[in-house]
Amino acid sequence: MITFQNNDTRLERIARHAFGAILDIGFAQYPNQYLMGDVTGLDLKSASPKPRNYRNFLVGDATKVLRKIKGKTYNTIIASEFIEHIDNHKKFFDDCYYLLKDNGLLILSTPTPYYYRTLFGNVLFQRGMIGNKEHVSVYIPRIMNAVADEAGFDLVTIEPATTFYVPFLTYQMIYVYRKRGKHANKSRT
For residues 33 and 24, the answer to whether their CB atoms sit within 8 Å is no
Is 119 part of a structural domain of the chain? yes
In a domain, 116, yes or no: yes
CATH code for the domain of 57: 3.40.50.150
pLDDT digits (tens, 9 = 90+) for 70-90: 999 999 999 999 998 788 889
Query: Does residue 2 lie in a domain region?
Result: no
Asked whether residue 189 is assigned to any structural domain, the reply reads no
pLDDT score of 189: 38
In which element (H, E) is residue 56 found?
strand 56-59
3-class SS string, 101-126? EEEEEEEEEEECCCCHHHHHHHHHCC
Look at residue 136 in the predicted model and tell me its pLDDT.
62
Residue 187 lies in a domain: no
pTM to 2 decimals?
0.86
pLDDT of residue 116: 73
Number of domains the chain is built from: 1
Q: Give the pLDDT confidence of 113-167 residue by residue, as tens digits.
A: 777 777 777 777 766 665 666 666 777 889 999 999 999 999 999 998 887 777 6
Domain range for 11:
7-179
